[in-house]
Amino acid sequence: MIVSKQKDLDDILKKIRGSVFIFGCGICSDTSRTGGLKEVEAMKRILADENIAVEGTYVIDAMCHLQKVRKAARDNKESLSKSQTVLVLSCGSGVQSAVMALPAHIKVVSGVDTMFLGNIENLSSLKEMCSLCGNCVLNETGGICPVTLCPKGLLNGPCGGMKNYKCEIDENMDCAWVKIYERSVVQNTLEDIKKTAKPKDYSVKKPAATLKFTGSHK
Ligand code: SF4
Ligand code: SF4
């Protein structure tokens, strides 16, 4: 899921003009506690306290789903026609769904900062495990990501700073390369990490990626 955090409230208020419609996201923003039903209602109350009219609210199950955002825009056409600003409490992808789905004269304001792709450890803990590098090395590193879990993103490790199996950047954190080594021993795949990894091809990340499917989807 995409992890987000709410922007500073004053920064949000500075960007709002006229009356507002609020969109939330019922999946990632709900889990991040930034844009589910509860947070949308809380934002509505905050705006009301600031004497800002809220014409309507709507929580879409996935703001990144452009077709769903377009449908929500049709279903809320009347409220949206009275709104000068649409405040979106979702990741940057969801904000841009609103930009694409709504008429250009409506100002779309982002209410959250998009942080990272996170694993849900439990409902109080979201952990970054993958940085979406577009050129996955997990098959060579025992299924543990050095790009994300080593602060230096080293593809050949550990570095000379590793001490007592801990990372030199944070002594409370296990060195990612120690974990990779330990798992490779258990998996009997040490040969994989004995090879010197080539520099990573980051060109696959540029320009902004699109993945198109061919054939039908069942
Ligand atoms: S190498 Fe790491 S950052 Fe890259 S795709 Fe694989 S898990 Fe994600
Ligand atoms: S100690 Fe390990 S995790 Fe930390 S920067 Fe060095 S190789 Fe990466």
Same domain for 175 and 149: yes
Same domain for 182 and 88: no
Please work out whether the CB of residue 148 comes within 6 Å of at least one atom of ligand 1: yes
CA–CA separation, 158 vs 144, rounded Å?
A: 13
Alpha helices in the chain, H assignment, sequence order = 9-15, 28-32, 37-49, 66-75, 77-81, 92-101, 146-149, 176-187, 190-194
Last residue of a domain, one of 84, 116, 148: 116
Same domain for 93 and 53: yes
Q: What single-letter DSSP state applies at residue 31?
A: H
Same domain for 148 and 47: no
Q: Which of 32, 30, 8 is nearest to 127 (CA)?
A: 32
Same domain for 98 and 151: no
Same domain for 180 and 103: no
Same domain for 93 and 159: no
Which structural domain, as residue segments, surrounds residue 39? 2-116
Please work out whether the CB of residue 177 comes within 6 Å of at least one atom of ligand 2: yes
Question: 201 in a domain, yes or no?
Answer: yes
Same domain for 177 and 108: no
* Contacts of residue 173, Cβ cutoff 8 Å, sequence gap at least 6: 166, 167
Per-residue pLDDT of the chain (218 residues; tens, 9 = 90+): 999 999 999 999 999 999 999 999 999 999 999 999 999 999 999 999 999 999 999 999 999 999 999 999 999 999 999 999 999 999 999 999 999 999 999 999 999 999 999 999 988 899 999 999 989 999 999 999 999 999 999 999 999 999 999 999 999 999 999 999 999 999 999 999 999 999 888 777 777 777 777 776 65
User: Which residue is listed with tokens 């509860």?
Assistant: 38
Mutation to probe ligand 2, out of 144, 150, 164 (largest number of atoms < 8 A from CB): 150
pTM of the model: 0.90
Ligand nearest to the CA of 149: 2
